[in-house]
């Protein structure tokens, strides 16, 4: 809530770190005359403008679309990825969610597999490398079919669509005490595993993407559910269950047998 002037004065404790090799520390800044209608990133823009005017190094943070669709923004705000509101990204968070006079602590995603680039910006290219090992369809799926030519039950289409809404922000990793990437990886696997076009590479895909996830240094899932609670796109733990089912099926049977066992072909 704002003060009598309709603005807010805040104290920010911001993590500043020159690079992954150098120790970081919290630095305190004042953010004054902030409109409650500003987004959290606009508030940081205002702070950065005053730092630049004072010939100080601005705070580095990731952002791009500022509409909740690109997955670039990535701040740990008062101990929670993307801040206190459910199912939104940092760029969709408004200052009216905070109170005049409040102290706000801002940190980067913390995970070994996401090394700090500078300040609040971390390197999430491990996600890209996992995607490159199988998060696509390489078989020839032919030309664009007419609408409804491939009949897919609505419940399946909806589930695939829900998995596909993952924006790759990494909040699930930041929220997890094990820094597990299983929610992200399972969403990327499930969006393809549920659809006909994803079937030919289904079992190779799950094995290679899980192997790469482990190689990149992400932790394991212990079913705590912090990832699901903090995911801005409300990706569910069901994705992890589907991924584990496909992974163990692929390990237990030869690839051609998996289809027979699961589908009775
Ligand atoms: S599963 Fe959710 S929290 Fe994890 S990367 Fe995707 S959108 Fe972000
Ligand atoms: S800046 Fe694109 S999702 Fe936040």
* Total count of residues recorded for the chain: 265
Looking at residue 39, the DSSP 8-state letter turns out to be B
Question: pTM to 2 decimals?
Answer: 0.94
Assess contact for 66 and 91: CB atoms under 8 A: yes
Ligand 2: nearest atom to the Cα of 92: 4
H/E run at residue 52:
helix 40-53
Top mutation candidate among 233, 237, 238, 240 for ligand 1, by most atoms within 8 Å of CB: 233
Ligand 2: nearest atom to the Cα of 70: 2
Residue closest via CA to ligand 1's atom 8 equals 169
Assess contact for 204 and 193: CB atoms under 8 A: no
Cα(239) to centroid of ligand 1, in Å? 12
Compute CA distances 235 → 160, 167, 230, whole Å. 11, 10, 9
Compute CA distances 17 → 104, 107, 117, 118, 263, whole Å. 18, 10, 8, 6, 52
Cα separation, 174 vs 110, whole angstroms: 6
The DSSP annotation for 190-212 comes to: HHHHTSGGGSTTHHHHHHHHHHH
Cα separation, 182 vs 221, whole angstroms: 7
Other CB atoms closer than 10 Å to residue 255's CB: what's the count?
Answer: 14
Compute CA distances 20 → 33, 178, 196, whole Å. 33, 20, 43
Instruction: Render each residue's pLDDT in the chain as its tens digit; 265 residues.
Output: 788 889 999 999 999 999 999 999 999 999 999 999 999 999 999 999 999 999 999 999 999 999 999 999 999 999 999 999 999 999 999 999 999 999 999 999 999 999 999 999 999 999 999 999 999 999 888 888 777 788 899 999 999 999 999 999 999 999 999 999 999 999 999 999 999 999 999 999 999 999 999 999 999 999 999 999 999 999 999 999 999 999 999 988 866 566 555 555 4
Proximal ligand: closest to the CA of 73: 2
Compute CA distances 77 → 65, 158, 184, whole Å. 19, 32, 21
* pLDDT for 261: 58
Beta bridge partners of 121: 118
Strands 8-16 and 103-107: parallel
Residue closest via CA to ligand 1's atom 6 equals 166
């Amino acid at each position: 809530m704002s003060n009598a002037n309709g603005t807010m004065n805040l104290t920010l404790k911001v993590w500043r770190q020159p690079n992954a090799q150098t120790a970081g520390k919290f630095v305190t800044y004042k953010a004054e005359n902030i409109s409650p209608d500003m987004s959290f990133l606009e508030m940081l823009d205002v702070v950065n403008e005053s730092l630049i005017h004072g010939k100080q190094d601005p705070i580095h943070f990731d952002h791009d679309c500022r509409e909740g669709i690109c997955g670039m923004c990535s701040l740990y705000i008062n101990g929670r990825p993307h801040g206190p509101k459910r199912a939104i990204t940092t760029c969709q968070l408004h200052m009216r969610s905070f109170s005049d006079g409040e102290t706000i602590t801002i940190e980067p995603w913390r995970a070994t597999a996401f090394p700090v680039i500078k300040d609040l910006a971390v390197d999430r290219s491990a996600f890209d490398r996992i995607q490159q090992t199988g998060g696509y369809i390489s078989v020839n799926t032919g030309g664009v079919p007419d609408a409804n030519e491939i009949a897919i039950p609505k419940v399946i289409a909806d589930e695939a669509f829900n998995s596909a809404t993952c924006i790759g922000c990494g909040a699930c990793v930041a929220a997890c005490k094990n820094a597990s990437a299983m929610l992200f990886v399972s969403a990327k696997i499930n969006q393809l595993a549920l659809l006909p076009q994803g079937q030919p590479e289904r079992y190779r895909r799950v094995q290679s993407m899980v192997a790469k996830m482990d190689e990149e240094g992400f932790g394991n899932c212990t079913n705590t559910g912090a990832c699901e609670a903090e995911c801005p796109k409300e990706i569910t733990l069901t994705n992890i269950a589907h991924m584990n089912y496909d992974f163990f099926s692929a390990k237990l049977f030869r690839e051609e047998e998996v289809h027979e066992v699961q589908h009775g072909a």
